[in-house]
Amino acid sequence: MDLRDSPSEAAFRGEARDFLETHAPKDKMDMFGDPNADEEAGIARARAWQKVLYANGWAAVVWPKEYGGRGLGPIEQIIWNQESAKAGLTDSIYVVGIGMAGPTIIAHGNDAQKTRYLDKLLRGEEIWCQLFSEPGAGSDLAGLATRGVRDGDEWVVTGQKTWCSGAQYGDFGIVLVRTNTQVPKHEGITFFLLDMKSPGIEVRPLRQVTGNAHFNEVFLNEVRIPDENRLGPEGAGWGAAMTTLMNERMAMGGVLVRYSFDELLAHVSEYAANVSAVERDDLAKLYIDMKSLELLNARIITKLGRGVMPDAESSVMKLALARILMRGGDLAVRILGPDAMRGDGPWQSHFLQAPAFRIAGGTDEIQKTQAAERVLGLPREPRADKGIPFEELPRS
Ligand SMILES: Cc1cc2nc3c(=O)[nH]c(=O)nc-3n(C[C@H](O)[C@H](O)[C@H](O)COP(=O)(O)OP(=O)(O)OC[C@H]3O[C@@H](n4cnc5c(N)ncnc54)[C@H](O)[C@@H]3O)c2cc1C
C-alpha cells in the first residue's frame, strides 16, 4: 500500500486545489443539511457553479474527452471528490446526472442519445434523478415490478418508485422497468431515459427526520415513454443498471472527509466544560477507527492506481464509514449536550442524517454479505429464485 500520492496524483491534487481555491463559492453548498435552506436558491447556486466547472473543464473528471470530460481515471475522481468536499462542496444536485446517468449513456447509449443528453447534462442545464428502488425492491433491486408494455413506438409504464433523491426538481430520470415477466428476474428488465415532465408522473416528497424532503415517491401511471428513449436492448437493462451502480460507487468515493474529527475535537475543546474519562476513551477509539479507515481508503486508491477495480474493500469501507458517521454524531451530542442540537451548527444535521448512510447505496447487511463471501470466502447466500420466471416468483 502506498500512503502518498504519486507525482502525477500530487500534481492533479494541486491543480484541483488551486482551481477550487480561486473559484469555489465561499458559502457552503450543502443544501440538504439545513432544513431552513431555500431549495430554489440552492438549485440556482448549484447551476451557477456547474457553469463555472464546465467553462473551466472540470465538469466531469472521468468522462472521455470526446464527451467533454477530462478523460482521467477513478483515482483522480476520488482526489477531486476529496478536494471538493474539503472546499465545502458536497451533495451536488448533479451527482446522479454526471456521476451515474452520463456514464451509463456513454457506455450503453446510441449516438442520438449521446448528442441529445450529454452536453446539456454537463452544462448543468438538465438535472437527472434515479428511479430504481421500489417499495418491494431495494436490496433485491432485480425484483422490481414497475411494468412496461410496448404500444407501437412507445412503452406504457405503470408502477411506483421510491426514495428518489431530487425527483422533485429532476428534468430526466433513469428508470428500470420490467418489460418481460416470463423470464428470470434479471433478464426481463429494460432501462429507459424518462422525461420527468411526461403526463402520468406524480412526485410526492417524503419528509425526513431532518425536516428536509430530499427524496420522493414517484408514481408512474400509464406514462408513455418513446422507444427512442430505451437505453440498450429490450431486456438488457440489468447490465446497464450495473454500470450505473458501479459509477455510483466511484462518484461517492472519497467521502471520508464528510465527517471531520478535527471539527469535533475543536468544538469539544471550546465548548465542553467537562469531558469524562469514558468520553475521552470514546474519542480516542473514534480517532483510531478514522485512521484505520484512511488506511483502507489508501489501499483502495493504491489498487486503483495499479489499474485494479476494488471489490470487497469498498463494501468494508462503506460499512466502517457508516458506523463512524453514526458514532461521531452520537458522541458529539453526548459530549456537547443540548447545544449540539442547535439548528445552526453542524451536529444536528450530522446526527440526524448519519443513519441514512447505513441504507443508501447498499445497506449494512448487504455489505456484510459481500465481505463474508468475497473476503472470508464463506458459502454464497442461497438463491431460491435462480432460473425461475419472474411471474412464478412468490411476491408479497
Ligand atoms: C439517503 C438515501 C437516498 C436514496 N436515493 C435513492 C435514489 O435517488 N434512487 C433510488 O432508486 N433509490 C434511492 N435510495 C434507496 C436505496 O437504494 C435503498 O433504500 C436501499 O437499496 C435499501 O433498499 P430498501 O430501502 O428497499 O430496504 P430493503 O431492501 O427492504 O431492506 C430492509 C432491511 O432488510 C435487510 N435485508 C434485505 N435483504 C437482505 C439480505 N439478503 N440479507 C440480509 N439482510 C437483508 C436490509 O439490510 C435492511 O435492513 C436512497 C436511500 C437513501 C437512504
pLDDT value at 335 more than 70: yes
Q: Whose CA is nearest to atom 20 of ligand 1?
A: 138
pLDDT in the model for residue 33: 46
Please work out whether the CB of residue 357 comes within 6 Å of at least one atom of ligand 1. Answer: no
pLDDT in the model for residue 165: 94
Q: How far is the CA of 204 from the centre of ligand 1 (A)?
A: 19
Average pLDDT (296-305) is 78
Average pLDDT (285-314) is 82
Separation between Cα atoms, residue 291 and residue 302, nearest integer Å: 16
pLDDT value at 178 more than 80: yes
- The grid coordinates listed for 79 are 482526489
pTM: 0.92
Across 182-191, 296-305, 387-396, the highest mean pLDDT is recorded for 182-191
Please work out whether the CB of residue 352 comes within 6 Å of at least one atom of ligand 1. Answer: no
Q: Whose CA is nearest to atom 14 of ligand 1?
A: 163
Q: Which atom of ligand 1 is nearest to the CA of 363?
A: 47
pLDDT in the model for residue 255: 53
Separation between Cα atoms, residue 341 and residue 303, nearest integer Å: 40
Which of 91, 141, 163 has most ligand 1 atoms within 8 Å of CB, for mutation? 163
With a CB cutoff of 8 Å and minimum separation 6, the contacts of 93 are 31, 42, 43, 46, 127, 166, 169
Q: Which atom of ligand 1 is nearest to the CA of 130?
A: 9
Contacts 24+ apart (CB under 8 A), 118-123: 118/67, 118/68, 119/68, 121/94, 121/97, 122/50, 122/54, 122/59, 122/60, 122/63, 122/67, 122/68, 122/69, 122/98, 123/50, 123/51, 123/54, 123/59
Separation between Cα atoms, residue 88 and residue 34, nearest integer Å: 14
Q: Which domains, ranges and CATH numbers included, belong to the chain? A: 7-123 (1.10.540.10), 128-236 (2.40.110.10), 259-374 (1.20.140.10)
Which of 139, 367, 378, 380 has most ligand 1 atoms within 8 Å of CB, for mutation? 139
Q: Which atom of ligand 1 is nearest to the CA of 165?
A: 8
* Model pLDDT for residues 102-115, shown as the tens digit of each residue: 999 999 999 999 99
pLDDT in the model for residue 293: 84
pLDDT value at 32 more than 50: no
Range with the poorest average pLDDT among 3-17, 192-206, 209-223, 304-318:
304-318
Please work out whether the CB of residue 164 comes within 6 Å of at least one atom of ligand 1. Answer: yes
Average pLDDT (44-56) is 93
Cα dihedral 346/352/356/357 (nearest 10) = 40
pLDDT value at 304 more than 80: no
Cell 466531469 found at: 60
pLDDT in the model for residue 11: 97
Across 14-28, 224-238, 359-373, the highest mean pLDDT is recorded for 224-238
pLDDT in the model for residue 28: 59
Which of 168, 214, 357, 363 has most ligand 1 atoms within 8 Å of CB, for mutation? 363
Separation between Cα atoms, residue 42 and residue 115, nearest integer Å: 28
Please work out whether the CB of residue 372 comes within 6 Å of at least one atom of ligand 1. Answer: no
Q: Between residues 69 and 266, which one has the greater pLDDT? A: 69
pLDDT in the model for residue 278: 96
pLDDT in the model for residue 35: 52
pLDDT value at 127 more than 70: yes
pLDDT value at 164 more than 90: yes
pLDDT in the model for residue 31: 43
pLDDT-based confidence at 36, cuts 50/70/90? low
Task: For the chain, give the percent of residues with pLDDT over 70.
Answer: 93
Average pLDDT (177-204) is 98
**Active-site amino acid positions:** 248
* Type of residue at 272: A
Separation between Cα atoms, residue 47 and residue 265, nearest integer Å: 34
pLDDT-based confidence at 72, cuts 50/70/90? very high
Average pLDDT (353-357) is 90
Please work out whether the CB of residue 326 comes within 6 Å of at least one atom of ligand 1. Answer: no
pLDDT value at 326 more than 60: yes
Q: pLDDT averaged over the chain? A: 90
Q: How far is the CA of 163 from the centre of ligand 1 (A)?
A: 9
Q: How far is the CA of 28 from the centre of ligand 1 (A)?
A: 29
pLDDT value at 252 more than 70: no
List alpha helices for the chain, DSSP H: 7-23, 39-55, 74-86, 95-96, 102-108, 111-123, 237-252, 261-271, 277-305, 312-336, 346-357, 364-374
